[in-house]
């Protein structure tokens, strides 16, 4: 029985399902709704752990697949667990590695991501998320074979053959030692047929049972780590509802809103996925896997999602895009070469940027010339923007004004 994990709802929105709560772990309290910056390989790209803390992050998420390949779970365990290994004192999470393995197989090179939404960059619609996991795009890792027991796959690093099963994924995540981790699941492409989505969903349910059993058999881990089950079902509402109820009834500590969806294929992916939550116990904490676009975050919060993670803030920053209250802007565009106004809408701590702040022209120059400082500044900006957005949503829920908070942000974000 876990002794170091609990979830308490403090306040609920009067008209929506948005709620503010506290999630207690052995390494600290997470005030929800909360966004977890992604440190794929035990490091949020371009941002030091102390900077994350200063920006307001309370939890970070790392990737099981990547840490299994480099440096190996034994090294992380011998270092004292994920948090100590990366110099982060707060709560940590790990995903199961399932999405990365999926990306090596059916989705490799097919422009599919967990949640591919659209945003405005200089008033032009563009995808705000990478399609498959760009971290594993190589000539080596292009194979993933799924069977009832698990998945065999090739490493994107050297082409060597590996195998994940639910039991192995749990074993790896026990060694990594995160406060919260996820059951192994099959993440399908949105283009798959109803028949295959159903087959994969049912396999995910069987894998969830095996993951939960493997976790409970390790009494030491079961007392310190929480395990969340992931629901699937593709783009089909009936399968999603069925999956949500099945996972909720298994006895997991929390719920992962799973799936790989894209508006490219004509579905209202997030809106439909959120309908799954109606099948959950109200007291169950919910994590939105891969949700990071600002309006998606607010939509998910309004439906009762408590935690989020996404690579988009740092990935967009590395490619020169930053969030503003009026949508994304791309600092490599010509007009920013001589724009000496400060980066908008985010005031980073003075120790990071001086008293006057960095100008668009300066960061544009850094990005255009390939200086890594440009990517660092843009990443800091984006992570701060998203953390502040979610923190503001939490405060708005506590103050009883979340509806207005969301409406005001949406109005400004899509204003041309």
DSSP characters for 28-84? EEEEESEEEEB-TTSS-TT--HHHHHHHT---EEEEHHHHHHTT-HHHHHHTTSHHH
pLDDT for 336:
98
pLDDT for 113:
42
pLDDT for 112:
40
pLDDT for 348:
79
Residue entry with tokens 């069977």: 147
Cα 243 to its chain centre, rounded Å, is 20
**pLDDT score of 280 more than 80:** yes
Per-residue model confidence as pLDDT tens digits over 401-413: 999 999 999 998 8
Residues 195-218 have a mean pLDDT of 96
Domains of the chain plus CATH, in order, are 6-33+61-305 (3.20.20.105)
Judging by DSSP bridges, how do beta strands 254-257 and 60-63 pair with one another?
unpaired
Residues 320-324 have a mean pLDDT of 97
pLDDT band (50, 70, 90) for residue 184: very high
Cα 249 to its chain centre, rounded Å, is 24
Dihedral sign for Cα 186, 298, 31, 73, please: positive
Greater confidence (302 vs 100) lies with 302
Burial classification of residue 361, based on how many CB atoms lie within 10 Å of its CB (0-12 exposed, 13-18 middle, 19 or more buried): middle
Average pLDDT of every residue of the chain: 88
Residues 215-228 have a mean pLDDT of 90
- Dihedral class, residue 145 (left if φ above 0, else alpha if ψ from -120 to 50, else beta): beta
Tokens of 369: 């010339």
pLDDT for 116:
41
**pLDDT score of 288 more than 60:** yes
CB 361 within 8 A of CB 340: yes
**What stretch of H or E contains 92?**
strand 92-95
pLDDT band (50, 70, 90) for residue 108: very low
Beta strands per DSSP E along 183-293 = 226-231, 254-257, 261-262, 286-289
Q: What is the spatial distance between Cα 139 and Cα 156, in angstroms, rounded to a whole number? A: 7
CB 1 within 8 A of CB 223: yes
pLDDT for 131:
31
**pLDDT score of 264 more than 50:** no
**What stretch of H or E contains 298?**
helix 294-302
Q: List binding-site positions for substrate.
A: 95-99, 185, 232, 259
**pLDDT score of 114 more than 50:** no
Residues belonging to the active site = 95, 309
Tokens of 27: 């390494």
Residues 78-107 have a mean pLDDT of 88
Q: What is the spatial distance between Cα 384 and Cα 135, in angstroms, rounded to a whole number? A: 23
pLDDT band (50, 70, 90) for residue 167: very high
């Amino acid at each position: 029985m876990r002794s170091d994990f609990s979830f308490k709802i403090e306040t609920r929105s009067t008209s929506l399902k948005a709620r503010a709560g506290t999630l207690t772990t052995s390494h600290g309290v997470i005030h929800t709704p909360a966004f977890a910056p992604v440190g794929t390989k035990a490091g949020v790209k371009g941002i030091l752990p102390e900077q994350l803390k200063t920006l307001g992050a309370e939890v970070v998420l790392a990737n099981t697949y990547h840490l299994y390949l480099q440096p190996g779970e034994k090294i992380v365990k011998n270092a004292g667990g994920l948090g100590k290994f990366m110099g982060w004192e707060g709560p940590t999470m790990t995903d199961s590695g399932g999405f990365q393995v999926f990306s090596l197989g059916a989705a490799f090179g097919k422009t599919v991501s967990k949640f591919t939404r659209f945003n405005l960059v200089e008033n032009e619609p563009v995808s705000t998320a990478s399609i498959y996991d760009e971290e594993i795009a190589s000539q080596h890792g292009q194979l993933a074979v799924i069977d009832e027991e698990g998945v065999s796959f090739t490493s994107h690093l050297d082409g060597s053959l590996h195998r994940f099963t639910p039991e192995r994924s749990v074993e790896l995540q026990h060694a990594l030692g995160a406060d919260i981790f996820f059951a192994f699941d099959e993440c399908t492409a949105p283009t798959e047929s109803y028949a295959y989505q159903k087959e994969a969903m049912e396999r995910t349910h069987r894998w969830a049972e095996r993951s939960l059993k493997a976790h409970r058999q390790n009494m030491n881990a079961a007392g310190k780590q929480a395990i969340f089950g992931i629901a699937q079902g593709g783009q089909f509402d009936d399968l999603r509802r069925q999956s949500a109820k099945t996972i909720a009834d298994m006895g997991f500590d929390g719920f992962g809103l799973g799936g790989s969806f894209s508006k490219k294929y004509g579905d209202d992916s997030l809106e439909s996925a959120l309908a799954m939550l109606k099948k959950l116990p109200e007291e169950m904490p919910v994590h939105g896997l891969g949700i990071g676009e600002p309006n998606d975050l607010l939509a998910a919060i309004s439906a009762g999602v408590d935690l989020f993670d996404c690579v988009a803030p740092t990935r967009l920053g590395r490619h020169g895009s930053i969030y503003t209250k009026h949508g994304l802007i791309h600092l490599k565009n010509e007009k920013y070469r001589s724009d000496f106004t400060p980066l908008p809408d985010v005031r980073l701590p003075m120790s990071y940027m001086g008293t006057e702040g960095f100008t668009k022209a300066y960061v544009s120059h850094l990005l255009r010339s390939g200086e890594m400082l440009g990517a660092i500044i843009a990443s800091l900006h984006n992570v701060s923007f998203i953390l502040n957005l979610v923190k503001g949503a939490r405060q708005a829920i506590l103050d009883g004004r979340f509806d207005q908070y969301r409406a005001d942000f949406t109005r400004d974000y899509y204003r041309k």
